[in-house]
Structure formats: C-alpha cells, structure tokens
Amino acid sequence: MEQMSSVPLQELSAFARSFSASVLEELLTTSSMKPEEKTAFREQYRDMQVTLESVQKAYRRYEEIDRPLIKECLEAYLLLLQRGPESRDELIQQFSVVLDQSERIDVLDDGMMDLLKEIWPEVQWPEQLPAFEGGELPDESEWPKYRLKEIFEKKNRQAQVFWNSSWLLVRLDIVSATEELKKGKKHLESLGKVLGYCCKIIGLLSKIHNVIM
C-alpha cells in the first residue's frame, strides 16, 4: 500500500497545479464578482499556494532528512531493549534521544508510528526489561516511562482526527474539482469553496509538519 502520509499532499498538489494563476485570472475576468471579492479571492489563492509550498518543502525535508534518522534511532532502540544489564547505561542515555526523535514523527507516517507502537509498551514497564534485571530501576527523571506512551497516543489521535474530520469532509470535493479542472469545466464559485477547504487541510498539514508561517 502506498504510504498514506503522502496521499493528501499529492492530491492537494494536483489541485494546485491544475488551478494555476493564469486559470485564476482567466476565471476572474469573466466572473461577476465585485472588485473587493476578487481581491479577497486572489489573496486566499496566494495564501494557499504559499502555505502549500512550505508544506511540500517540510514534507520533502521530513522524507529526506528527518525520517531516516528517526528510523535508525527507533530500530536501534528496539534491539537495545532486548539486551541485558551490560546495556543498562546505554539504554537510559538513548532514551532521551528516542523521545526527541519520536516527537518528530509525522503523524501520518505509518512505518514510524508502527515502530513507536512496539517501543512504548516496553518502556512503560522497566522492571520487565532484561537491562534492569537484578539492578536498580531508573528514576522518573532519567526514565519518564509515560512520555513515549503520551507521544504515541497524541500522534495516533491526531492522525485519526485528520482522517475523521478535515480529510473526510473535503477530499471528495477536491478530487472532483481536480477532475473538473482537467476537463476544462471551471466554475469559479465551486473552486472558491474548494480553495477554502484546501487552505484548511494545508493548515492542518502545516501543523503536522511544524511549518511556521
């Protein structure tokens, strides 16, 4: 299956490509909108394109730079969790790195979320880990055992909210509008509605990718 995290962005990008600036101007010329409405429309269009570009950049950065580091870190930690008392110090030291990297996971990145799902239940019960057998358990300051669970639950919930609300409401409209544009059936009013939806989704994606506008 295609990596789900990229699907919304791909379709938003397809919509934005079809809805070029020249298409916008062509439609505005023949539109019966008042001048101030046209100005507002242009502004919203510009905002959408600018934010989308930032989200695309952030996503590319995530795929090329962040994700490989997160993957390496989580996979190594999963192995470390199985090792004995000789790895006690390394396990504790690396835990803060795992927390940092987990915070960076894109909530729609199924691969990394699945890795996180395997780690947090082990971390929450340190007394069960071979590394701490027969020795003292780390205290809360060096081993905040609920932190990873909180990160996982928060991110999984964000992914559900994304699919549940915004995407569910708008996706069909966006796809049909993209098709309309491809076929040359351009209706400014319906595009305006879709443009508004797009802005909302891009806003949501920009939060996911921590894009500061």
Partner 1 sequence: MKQLLRVTVFWCLLLFVLLSGCASSQQYVMLARDGASYTGSVATLADRASAIRVESSSYSLLQQRHYISTKYKGTVLKNALRDSLRYANQSDLEAIENNRHIKEVAISLQNYFLALQELAASTAPVDIGAKTSEIISKVNEAMRAQNRTPMSVPTSVSSVIVTHLTESALQKELTSRKQSILRALDILDGLLITISREIDGQARNIRNARVALLIQPAYQDTISVSSLSLSDKELWVTLRQKDLLGSTTEGDDKKAITSVKTSGRKFRELFTNMTSK
Q: Would you tell me which residues interact with partner 1 (CB under 8 A)? A: 1, 4, 7, 108, 110, 113-114, 117-118, 120-122, 124-125, 127-128, 140, 146, 149, 152-153, 156-157, 159-165, 167-168, 171-172, 175-176, 179
Q: In the complex, what is the shortest distance from the CB of residue 127 to partner 1, in angstroms, rounded to a whole number?
A: 6
Nearer to partner 1, 57 or 157 (CB): 157
Residue with tokens 């590319």: 60
Nearer to partner 1, 41 or 132 (CB): 132
Nearer to partner 1, 4 or 40 (CB): 4
Q: In the complex, what is the shortest distance from the CB of residue 177 to partner 1, in angstroms, rounded to a whole number?
A: 12
User: What would the two tokens of residue 139 be?
Assistant: 């205290």
Total Cβ atoms within 10 A of residue 24 = 20
Q: In the complex, what is the shortest distance from the CB of residue 148 to partner 1, in angstroms, rounded to a whole number?
A: 10
Nearest to 131 by CA among 77, 76, 86: 86
Nearer to partner 1, 50 or 163 (CB): 163
Burial (CB count <10 Å: 0-12, 13-18, 19+), residue 78 = middle
Whether the CB-CB separation of 46 and 208 falls below 8 Å is answered with no
Q: In the complex, what is the shortest distance from the CB of residue 42 to partner 1, in angstroms, rounded to a whole number?
A: 29
Total Cβ atoms within 10 A of residue 138 = 19
Q: In the complex, what is the shortest distance from the CB of residue 11 to partner 1, in angstroms, rounded to a whole number?
A: 9
Nearer to partner 1, 47 or 180 (CB): 180
| Contacts of 186 by beta carbon, 8 Å cutoff, 6+ apart | 23, 26, 27, 180
Total Cβ atoms within 10 A of residue 15 = 23
